[in-house]
Amino acid sequence: MSVLTLQNISKSYGKIQALSNLSFEIPQGCVFGVLGPNGSGKTTLLSIILDVLKADSGNFLWFGQPGSPEQRKKIGSLLETPNFYHYLSAVNNLKITNSISGRGDYRAIDAVLQKVKLFERKDSRFSSYSLGMKQRLAIAAALLGNPKVLVLDEPTNGLDPVGIAEIRELIIELSKNGHTIIMASHLLDEVEKVCTHVAIIKKGSLLTTGAVEDVLADEDTIEISAADIAALATVMKGYVNSIKVLQDGNFLQVSMPKGTARLEDVNNYCFSKGIVLNHLVFKKKRLEAKFFELTNN
């Protein structure tokens, strides 16, 4: 069952087309990354599904039903920036979250503040917090009452490396417990570590979506090297399965159709052409490479 279904969502700001006919589904229990360069429409998309922005056309369904306040109460959300009353403490801000959403109770407030390591400063005013602490409080608000669906827009913004690792572990833990997490990010390394599914958007249009391994594994890549790298490049361009041969320093990246890269065959081919390889590995494609490949076109 889909947690969220987007159907032909479009949104413009004057002449700027922020989203254009966006349609995809987010399966239950996944960690879904919405990726895109700055200004690609990630936050606009999340704002629409949280009813902060109105779509010009198209619609979205949460659990098969049109979006409603009652559904939003069950979703823990962090959108763009931590939005809290500056004159109130962390605890009093979370009491408002609790009062509006009905998620959690006063005991749960202490628990989430401990989880994000803000408990010691729970009575300090929000205005006295650092950027990282504000972000932690926003994550605590999203986690309040243990909602089954979380929408997190750039959740690691402003966090130090330890904080980033903690949030990563938290997302993995929540995912293992059956939560569905929808996160927008441009930190591809982080996304690759935690996401099971992705959608990549650019200038408001969907470039690709699906399970991470499916999105990445559209072709095989091997990395090879030899003493005469120029001769090796010439030879590999003649290899039957080669799609693309790129030189990266003393190495060649050779792309082949998915499932056709067999290292023994490559080694034999090169040897038969009089070249002895000194390096031969199968390269797993990185999300970053795929992202650049898609968004630079």
Partner 1 sequence: MNSPITNGDQQLYSMAQIIRTEWLKIKKYPAFWWVMGITALTYPGVNAIFVYEYYDLTEKRSAAGQVVKALLGNPFALPECWKTVAYFSSIFVFIPAIVIIMLITNEYTYKTNRQNIIDGWSRKTFMTGKLVDVLILSAIVTALYAVVALIIGIYNTTSATTGKWQMVYYIGLFALQTFSQLSLAFMVGLLVRKSFIALAIFTFYFIMLEPIAVNVIRVKLHSNIGRFFPLQVSHKLIPRPAFIGRLDEKDYQASLEAVKYHVGYTLVLIVLTWAFCFWVNNRRDL
Q: Which of 16, 39, 64, 70 binds partner 1 (CB under 8 A)?
A: 70
Task: Name which of 141 and 191 has its Cβ closer to partner 1.
Answer: 141
Nearest to 78 by CA among 164, 183, 199: 183
Q: Which of 39, 59, 86, 258 binds partner 1 (CB under 8 A)?
A: 86
Q: What is the CA radius of gyration of the chain?
A: 23
Q: Which of 16, 23, 39, 52 binds partner 1 (CB under 8 A)?
A: 52
Cα 34 from chain centre: 5
Cα 147 from chain centre: 19
Running DSSP on this structure, what letter comes out for residue 56? S
CB of 138 to partner 1, least distance (A): 9
Tokens 């005991």 sit on residue: 107
Task: Name which of 134 and 290 has its Cβ closer to partner 1.
Answer: 134
The SS3 call for residue 54 is coil
CB of 160 to partner 1, least distance (A): 24
Q: Could you tell me which stretch among 31-39, 98-106, 216-224, 281-289 binds partner 1 (CB under 8 A)?
A: 98-106
Q: Interface with partner 1 includes 87 (CB under 8 A)? A: yes
Residues 152-171 binding partner 1 (CB under 8 A) are none
* Nearest-5° Cα angle at 275, 270 to 278: 95
| Sign of the four-CA dihedral 154, 158, 161, 166 | negative
Which amino acid, residue 101?
Answer: S
The contact mask relative to partner 1 for 113-142 (x = CB under 8 A, - = no) is ----------------------------x-
Q: Interface with partner 1 includes 101 (CB under 8 A)? A: yes
Q: Interface with partner 1 includes 81 (CB under 8 A)? A: yes
Are 283 and 255 a contacting pair, CB within 8 Å? Answer: no
Q: Which of 96, 162, 227, 281 binds partner 1 (CB under 8 A)?
A: 96
Q: Could you tell me which stretch among 89-97, 208-216, 254-262, 268-276 binds partner 1 (CB under 8 A)?
A: 89-97
Q: Please work out the total of residues on this chain that contact partner 1, with binding judged by CB under 8 A.
A: 30
Q: Interface with partner 1 includes 238 (CB under 8 A)? A: no
CB of 113 to partner 1, least distance (A): 17
Q: Interface with partner 1 includes 108 (CB under 8 A)? A: no
Q: Interface with partner 1 includes 100 (CB under 8 A)? A: yes
Beta-carbon contacts of 270 under 8 Å, excluding residues fewer than 6 positions away, are 224, 226, 232, 235, 236, 276, 277
Q: Interface with partner 1 includes 102 (CB under 8 A)? A: yes
The SS3 call for residue 290 is helix
Beta-carbon contacts of 219 under 8 Å, excluding residues fewer than 6 positions away, are 243, 255, 256, 257, 258, 285
Show the tokens assigned to 218.
Answer: 């559209």
Phi, psi of 39 (to 5 degrees): 80, 10
Binding site for partner 1 (CB under 8 A): 47, 50-54, 69-70, 72-74, 77, 79, 81, 83-89, 92, 95-97, 99-102, 141
